[in-house]
Amino acid sequence: MVSRRTALKGLVATLTGTVTGAAVHGYGWERHALRLVQTSLPVTGLPPEFEGLRVGFITDLHLSGAIEAEDIRRAVRLMQSQSVDVLVLGGDYVSNFDLRFAEPVAELLADLAAPLGVFAILGNHDDDRVVPGALARRGITVLKDARASVTRGGATLELAGVRFWTRSIGEIGAVVQGASAPVLLLAHDPRRVSEAASLGIPAVISGHTHGGQIVLPLIGALAARKFPVAAGRLTVRGTELFVSRGVGTILLPIRINCPPDVSVITLRRRVVSSQTLPAHAAG
C-alpha cells in the first residue's frame, strides 16, 4: 500500500512537472504562435455603405528586450495578407516607457497600409510625445483624444481615439461631441465600454488585457478578471465591444492557453428604432 506521504510526494512532483512543462511551452512556443482572429461587430446606425467594412486590428506589441522584433514582423505580414479597408493600432508599442524602442517599433509598422488609412491610439506603456511622433513620421494618424472621419461611397464613419488616462464620461463625451456620423470608439482599455454605453456609442475596439496571458484550466485568466471580458466579444447595454489578446507580453514573456493574435473585424449594420436608443443619442 502506498503511504499518504508517498502519494503526496508523487502528486507534488506531477504538478511541478506539469507547471514546468506549461511554462517552457508558453515561453518557447505559445507566445510566438500568432493567430488570426476574424469576427463581426454589429454597429447601430452604421451606414449601408460601411456594411462589411473590414477593420484590421493590431495591439499590445510591447517591443522590448523580451519581445522579439520577429514577432511584430510576423503580425505585420499576417495583416498585410488580409486586404483590410482600414487599419487600427491599439497601443502599447513599447514596455514601461522604454523609449529606446519607439523608433524601432514604428519602423516595423511602417509598411502597413489600408485604403481608408492607418490609425493609432496610445496605451498605458506609451508616452505622449516620442511614441506618437515616431508613428506619425511613418504616415500613421495618431488619435490622442481626437476623431478622424473615413468616407466610403459618400457616407462617413467617425473613429474616436482616446488616451489610456481619458476615462470619465465627461472626458470621452468631449471627444465624441459634435460627431455627425456613427462613432467607433478606439480605447486601449476595454473598461471604457461602460462610459461608451452611457454615451450611446455603438461600438468599442480595445486591447490591453493580453487575454489574461496565462489562462489556467477551471480557474481562467486571473490577470484579466477586472476587465469586462478578457478577449473576444461582449455587449454592454447595447454597445458592442471587441477585445484582442494582442501580440506581445508583459511582466513574464509567457503565454499559456492564450496565444497572441491580430484581428480582422467586419462591421455589420444593426438597425434599431429611436425608442431603443439612450435619450441623448436618439436626438
pLDDT, tens digit, 9 for 90 and up, residues 163-199: 999 999 999 999 999 998 999 999 999 999 999 999 9
**pLDDT confidence of residue 12:** 34
278: phi then psi, degrees, rounded to nearest 5: -55, 150
**pLDDT confidence of residue 222:** 87
CATH number for 33-272 (one of 3.40.50.620, 3.40.50.2300, 3.20.20.70, 3.60.21.10): it is: 3.60.21.10
**pLDDT confidence of residue 26:** 53
> What are the extents of the domains in the chain?
33-272
The CA-based diameter of the chain, rounded to the nearest angstrom, is 80
- Give the residue ranges of the chain where pLDDT is below 50: 2-4, 7-20, 22, 274-283
Q: Which residues, other chains included, contact 17 with Cβ-Cβ below 8 Å and sequence gap of 6+?
A: none
Q: Which residues, other chains included, contact 280 with Cβ-Cβ below 8 Å and sequence gap of 6+?
A: 199, 200
Its pTM surpasses 0.85: yes
**pLDDT confidence of residue 13:** 38
**pLDDT confidence of residue 70:** 97
Do residues 253 and 63 touch, judged by C-beta distance below 8 A?
Answer: no
**pLDDT confidence of residue 135:** 98
Query: At what angle are helices 102-109 and 69-80 packed, to 10 degrees?
Result: 20
Q: Which residues, other chains included, contact 7 with Cβ-Cβ below 8 Å and sequence gap of 6+?
A: none
**pLDDT confidence of residue 28:** 63
